[in-house]
Amino acid sequence: METVAFFGLGQMGQGMALRLLEGGYKLNVYNRTPEKAREVIGKGAEFFLDPATAVSKTKVLVTMLSDDHAVNTVTNEPVLQALGDGGIHLSMSTIGSAAAEELVRSHAKHGISYLACPVFGRPDAARAGKLWLCLAGDESAKVRIRPLLELIGQGIYDFGPSPSAANVAKLAGNFLIASAIEAMAEAFCLAEKNGVDPNQVHAVLSQTLFACPIYQNYGRFILEQNYSPPGFTLALGSKDMRLVRDTARNSQVSMPLASLLEDRFLRSLSKERGDMDWTAIAIDQREAAGLTNT
């Protein structure tokens, strides 16, 4: 089985890399913080201090990084030259559509196929190979990369030949998740302020009208005020709401709720909650409702 370069060993990247190692892939890994590579090295991955060297021995690069800047920084000219003609870059980060389009152009200059494949799922799903994958880009590259994707995902949804389409789909999904978090935070406060047990409200609604993992699991986190350790940080949620707003603005789409969410996340960041789970925006709602937090 071929060697794959894997960049980005945060909570999500760590689980994905371990899945690939267990599936028989050889990994050349790079991470800005070397200490985070300890577990994958123990499972057989080879760590490189220089990203260009890591990709020089492979034709497939997978990145799972935090934002546009991180992806642009790590896919610099030396890295693209090392990956070279016929290479594939599978970008699994949640980035803006404009950034994705620029990456397509910079990669094409080197004969590299750029695939966007942002994911839905939390770290435990990444480790179990149960992510939902949004894929877009060159068709022949998709065929080459499919065995790898099947190891880390339980479903692959193809959004066509334009990589930016997958990123727009991911942003739309994260907007809906954040909207559900906001709606539950408000609804639970409404119940509590009127003497109704919010746990009972959640029980009936998450088993009937809203019987799905987002309402069931995130609702439980909000009610338990269980925001650490984070599965997805509030700081990253804020970044995604900014990207949603940027994309909407660039395409002239009015999104009033996205504006509200961006403000909610920014207010939470100002109160130093960025390292909490993104469901911690519910704290701000409780404060606005005059409720105390445990």
Residues with catalytic annotation? 170
DSSP collapsed to 3 states, the chain:
CCEEEEECCCHHHHHHHHHHHHCCCEEEEECCCHHHHHHHHHCCCEECCCHHHHHCCCCEEEECCCCHHHHHHHCCHHHHHHHCCCCEEEECCCCCHHHHHHHHHHHHCCCCEEEECCEECCHHHHHHCCEEEEEECCHHHHHHHHHHHHHHEEEEEECCCCHHHHHHHHHHHHHHHHHHHHHHHHHHHHHHHCCCCHHHHHHHHHHCCCCCHHHHHHHHHHHHCCCCCCCCEHHHHHHHHHHHHHHHHHCCCCCHHHHHHHHHHHHHHHCCCCCCEHHHHHHHHHHHCCCCCC
Q: Which residues contact 209 (CB under 8 A, 6 or more apart)?
A: none
Angle at the Cα of 275 from the Cα atoms of 211 and 239, rounded to 5 degrees: 75
Residue in the block written with tokens 């660039």: 250
Beta strands at 153-158 and 131-135: parallel, antiparallel or unpaired: parallel
What are 138's two structure tokens?
């060159």
| Radius of gyration of the chain from its Cα atoms, rounded to whole angstroms | 20
Q: How far is CA 66 from the centre of its chain?
A: 8
